[in-house]
Structure 1
Amino acid sequence: MKQIDVHQLIDEARFNRFHWMLLFWCALVIIFDGYDLVIYGVVLPKLMTEWALTPLQAGALGSYALFGMMFGAMFFGPLSDKIGRKKVIAACVTLFSAFTFLNGFVTDMTEFGICRFMAGLGIGGVMPNVVALMTEYSPKKIRSLLVTIMFSGYSVGGMLSAGLGIWLIPAYGWSAVFFVAIIPLLLLPLILYFLPESPAFLLHSKNYVQMEKVLHQLKPGFHPAQDAEYHYATGKTADQAPLIALFRNNRLLTTLMFWIAFFMCLLMVYALGSWLPKLMNKAGYPLGSSLMFLMVLNIGAIFGAIGGGWLADQFHPRRILTIFFIIAAGSISLLGIKSNTLMLNMLVALAGATTIGTQILLYAYVAQYYPLSIRSTGIGWASGIGRSGAILGPILGGTLLSMNLPLEFNFYAFAIPGAIACIAISLAGRQTQTLSS
């Protein structure tokens, strides 16, 4: 009986049409995931005026989606390790698409907050699952690059949100940007048709016909013998719950450092994403120009993510992440210093590259660190714990703005987490894991 190592076959596969399709559909999900998330920063200046919100109220309102993301990541991440990626991705897309669309019909803060929380459950839940799926099917030599390219869809979604906001809000009001979010729900049948299921779940459920079909797409010349037996090393042991396994076998320090790095990085990302247009508006730039800074932030993120992914495949991801966090702290600190428009845009792009871009690279690093049996759990809990930093980001920005501090002090406060994250990530992954999970 011939043993077929599925993991090795995937690792050594040549990049082909199958990978292109997987990359396209995963990236499309993340594009709308990013669109639905960044949308609050786009409508915030208009909402504050229309609903007479204080900075503290606005900061709290922005955190509802982030609370949802925290619970979504921590619940849907482990769930997919048990029931498969596709079912969970379908549920999450339905949640964030439907409730973001409904957000366009709300009339008060309470309704707005409920819709944002429910959408946040889907936004947070889909991230660890598409990252895990992309990781599981990517060739080893370009794994970090493919994951970061896919996750750059988040920044494309942010740019789309800001770009449509510049056009739609003056003409149709802030509600219009929420109506665009129905598109992924309409595309869901196609998404489910083209996305493959996790290889481990296919083997666990004894769906060998589908497994052979996927492997043939991965390697067109693949023709297994009739008595072939599939093997996929998950590192799983029967006596360990996935969450407990995150701390065993020399993973305790690294898991904690991942959580700290996620917390600090997401604090920077969402503080900037929620308040950058408003801070620039306060500094004297009109609304259209201040929204352009949000677009530049996300353009920078794309270059940072893809460049960081390529560098991570050449060097160790930890080394690249450490350098990026140092640059993030420096560039954000300089945003508060008066400079010409060109320099300001360069600093904003650099901040985007090393905050949003670094966050994307963090997902890729975490996905590669944990064994398959606890991969979504590891990503989901790192992301979920990190969401408390994302929740704090808009609140911190609102608190600082209400204190009427000089502009530069707001950016200094946003930069401090970058220094802390740099220390945390430099300590991660230094202990050698044992073979069991």
Structure 2
Amino acid sequence: MATVAISAVNLVQYTFTSWMPTLLVKQGLNVVHSLGFSAVMMAGAPLGALIGAILVDRIGRKTVIVPAFIITAILGLIYAQQRQIAWVLIVGFCLVTTIYILMASIVSVYMSELFPTYFRFRGAGYANAVAKILTVLTPYLVAWALTRVNANLIFYFMATVAIIAAIVVAVMGPETKQRTIN
């Protein structure tokens, strides 16, 4: 569970935030503006982390994580269709916000709570290692999509990863809120 959740959030977060300027250029925005737009959209990161930190304890881990993955998938698909600057910024800001709700909820809370205390460090380390290996492979997929297919394939990839993670967490993930950790 930890490997699926952390891998999905890392793949989505890294793919979108690291490639955002390039994706904006592919949408027809010039480089100077794309870097400024990236900065505006990344302002959603601290907001999302704050929202995630507040909600995860108030309403539960799965109750935050599953809808946030679904909303991330939907916003990613909507973002791919945007051509007007205002909507690129608005949807991009919302997308970054939901990604960082996931980052705060999964990375900071949920992942470690999935393991008993005696195995927590190794379990979280293993899950993070798998996620990082997948993240290292992602630039090759992105570069291939940008040169051979269409930039929208990247958003379809992110949406698919987010939906699969939402289903896995919803069906198999335990709710760890107020659960005694050994």
TM-score, normalised with respect to structure 1: 0.38
- Give deviations 1:83-142, integer Å, cap 9, x for gaps: xxxxxxxxxxxxxxxxxxxxxxxxxxxxxxxxxxxxxxxxxxxxxxxxxxxxxxxxxxxx
Q: Does 1:350 align with 2:94?
A: yes
Say which of 111, 130, 143 aligns to 1:366.
Answer: 111
What's the counterpart of residue 36 of structure 2? 292
Instruction: Give distance in 1, aligned partners of 2:134 and 2:100.
Output: 14
Instruction: Give distance in 1, aligned partners of 2:174 and 2:156.
Output: 29
Instruction: Give distance in 2, aligned partners of 1:315 and 1:343.
Output: 30
Amino acid at match of 2:16: L
2:7·2:130 contact (CA, 8 Å) conserved in 1?
A: yes
Q: Does 1:283 align with 2:14?
A: no
What's the counterpart of residue 82 of structure 2? 338
What's the counterpart of residue 199 of structure 1? none
Residues 339/316 of structure 1: CA separation in 2 closer, same or farther (3 Å cut): same
How far has the Cα of 1:409 moved from its partner?
Answer: 3.3
Say which of 124, 149, 153 aligns to 1:409.
Answer: 153
Instruction: Give distance in 2, aligned partners of 1:354 and 1:329.
Output: 10
Unaligned regions of 5+ residues in structure 2, if any? none
Map 1:69-108 → 2, pairs under 5 A: none
How far has the Cα of 1:314 moved from its partner?
Answer: 0.7
Instruction: Give distance in 2, aligned partners of 1:419 and 1:385.
Output: 19
How far has the Cα of 1:417 moved from its partner?
Answer: 0.6
Instruction: Give distance in 1, aligned partners of 2:43 and 2:132.
Output: 23
How far has the Cα of 1:346 moved from its partner?
Answer: 1.5
What's the counterpart of residue 129 of structure 2? 384
1:329·1:419 contact (CA, 8 Å) conserved in 2?
A: yes
**4+ residue stretches of structure 1 with deviation over 6 A?**
none
Say which of 54, 57, 80 aligns to 1:310.
Answer: 54
Percent identity between the two aligned chains: 24
How far has the Cα of 1:334 moved from its partner?
Answer: 1.0
SS in 2 for 1:346: helix
Q: Does 1:425 align with 2:165?
A: no
Residues 377/429 of structure 1: CA separation in 2 closer, same or farther (3 Å cut): same
Map 1:3-402 → 2, pairs under 5 A: 257-363=1-107, 364-402=109-147
SS in 2 for 1:285: coil
2:66·2:169 contact (CA, 8 Å) conserved in 1?
A: yes
- The structure whose RCO (Cα within 8 Å, separation 6+) is larger is 2
Between structures 1 and 2, the one with greater helix share: 2
For the aligned residues, what is the CA RMSD?
A: 2.3
Unaligned regions of 5+ residues in structure 1, if any? 1-256
Asked which structure has the greater CA Rg, the reply is: 1
Instruction: Give distance in 1, aligned partners of 2:23 and 2:169.
Output: 29
